[in-house]
Amino acid sequence: MKEILNKISLLFKDKDLKRKTLFTLFIFLVFRLFAFLPVPAINLAKLRVLFSQSQFLSLLDIFSGGTLINFSVMALGLNPYINASIVIQLLTVVFPQLEQLSKEGEYGRYRMNQYTRFLTVPLTIIQTIGIFMLLQSQKIVTNLSPIEFFSFIVTMVCGTFILVWFGELISEFGLGNGISLLIFAGIVGRVPIMFGRTLAIVNSQLIINIMTFVILAVVVIGSIVFINEAVRKIPVYYAKRIRGNRVYQGATNYLPLKLNQAGVIPIIFAVSFVLAPQLLGNFLMGVKTPAIAAAAKFLVKFFNPSGFFYNFFYFFFVIGFTYFYTVVVFNPQKIAEEIQKHGGFIPGIRPGIATKQYLEKILYKITSVGAVFLGAIAILPAIVSQITGLSDLVIGGTGILIVVSVILETFKMVEAQLVMKNYDRFVQ
């Protein structure tokens, strides 16, 4: 603990890191101010009543950082941008041209980000129209003229892109990954409200329920930290080499394979998919055709966030996306080629194809553990809610996972910069 406090003090003593920290906090402040800037023509009183009756909408509100329940200009949050990122990631696997572009360094990343932004525009418009029709069916928003409706859509699109811009500013001038930090800020911003609602519940089991939740939260946080920090170290030996007049001495290194290579990305991807049927069902329930309305009602009931099928699909979506994202970010073929190129080998494994197959085997084994853990964390809140009755904390596990992972990622980045600037302080 003393070491952590010492590093935090060094963080504020370093001018560059202090500037980045203050800039990030400033963006957080502006983001929270925008979260309470409502869009005109919305009946906020009726909207809050609707949210209190719908677990699905409450779940969406958490991931929007509280902007949806206030229906601010950033009501859609980063959801359209995240969905666009998912589509681009999938297209990268399908189209070799995109895969090649993603490997072209800074230029490739710039082009991929551009494509993601372009795709965000139609997705934002579609989601805005869907949310508008849902609210209109609940008589939360009145009929708008064509100009007012166009202004409504433009406001939502601009709000989402301002939020994306905030994320890019944090990534460039602040601390860590801007998009992850904004999601983190939104979840943390909702914590006081969630605890306030929980404490307002008066019953004989309140203290026991809260104690149970606190104990489970500590266990979950400890498990997340353990899984995120767990690494399988594969030894790589480099033989002595002679190139021209240079002699390269043999060395031993380690190839670190993280148990959870994908981080929180599978959770975010899976949430976008399992919430889609609920959103579609709520949208179609207002249709006058009886067959469609009945099908929509069944869809809403079938994918109820506290129900079995929702959590069943959620669990397997998380596992699937964990494998998918791990395959995207870690290429055993490329790693094996790099090891062979530099004269290295894994003890007992022949260079080339054998090394690739060995890395794939290890990767699939450790990814299986990480994927099952992420899936269990994703559905654990629903189980805890059934046991304790704390329905307001049903998304706690997913929120904790994102918060802890972002904190660990940011802290490592800060620590790395501190090590570079204060090398003598950290190396004994």
Task: Please list, in sequence order, all residues whose beta carbon lies within 8 angstroms of the beta carbon of residue 413, skipping any fewer than 6 positions away.
Answer: 175, 176
Where does the chain hold its CATH 1.10.3370.10 domain(s)? 1-202, 205-394
Q: Looking at domain 1-202, does it have CATH number 3.30.470.20?
A: no
For position 394, what pLDDT does the model report?
46
For position 131, what pLDDT does the model report?
79
For position 110, what pLDDT does the model report?
82
3-state helix, strand, coil in the chain (%, to 5): 75, 5, 20
For position 197, what pLDDT does the model report?
60
> Which residue pairs, CB below 8 angstroms and at least 24 apart, start in 52-56?
55/304, 55/305, 55/306, 55/391, 55/394, 56/275, 56/278, 56/279, 56/282, 56/300, 56/304, 56/305
The stretches of 174-286 forming alpha helices (DSSP H) are 178-199, 206-229, 265-284
Mean pLDDT for back-to-back runs of 10 residues, the chain (428 residues): 63 77 89 82 72 62 67 82 82 79 78 88 86 75 81 88 90 82 80 63 58 75 82 80 58 80 77 75 72 78 77 87 81 82 80 85 88 84 68 59 79 75 53
3-state secondary structure of 282: helix
For position 127, what pLDDT does the model report?
82
- Overall CATH class of domain 205-394: mainly alpha
To which H or E segment does residue 231 belong? strand 231-238
- CA distance to 77, 265, 332, per residue, from 323 (Å): 27, 11, 14
Pairing mode of beta strands 231-238, 344-345 = antiparallel
Given a contact cutoff of 8 angstroms between Cβ atoms, the answer to whether 69 and 53 are in contact is no
Separation between Cα atoms, residue 115 and residue 307, nearest integer Å: 36
Burial class (CB in 10 A: 0-12, 13-18, 19+), 115: middle
* E strands present in 239-308: 241-243, 246-248, 251-258
Q: Is the pTM of this model over 0.85?
A: no
3-state secondary structure of 347: coil
CA 232 from centroid of its chain's CA atoms: 24
User: Helix/strand/coil (H, E, C) string of 77-145?
Assistant: CCHHHHHHHHHHHHHHHHCHHHHHHHCCHHHHHHHHHHHHHHHHHHHHHHHHHHHHHHHHHCCCECCCC
φ, ψ (nearest 5 deg) of residue 65: 75, 30
The DSSP letter of residue 72 is B
For position 404, what pLDDT does the model report?
80
For position 3, what pLDDT does the model report?
59
The three-point CA angle 186-187-189 to 5° equals 65
For position 286, what pLDDT does the model report?
66
For position 428, what pLDDT does the model report?
47
The stretches of 138-177 forming alpha helices (DSSP H) are 146-173
Dihedral of CA atoms 393, 399, 401, 406 in degrees, nearest 10, equals: -150
For position 42, what pLDDT does the model report?
75
Cα dihedral sign, 107-108-111-113: negative
For position 193, what pLDDT does the model report?
65
For position 209, what pLDDT does the model report?
61
Separation between Cα atoms, residue 178 and residue 65, nearest integer Å: 14
Please give the structure tokens belonging to residue 279: 């959103």
- CA distance to 16, 41, 235, 248, 339, per residue, from 343 (Å): 39, 67, 14, 10, 6
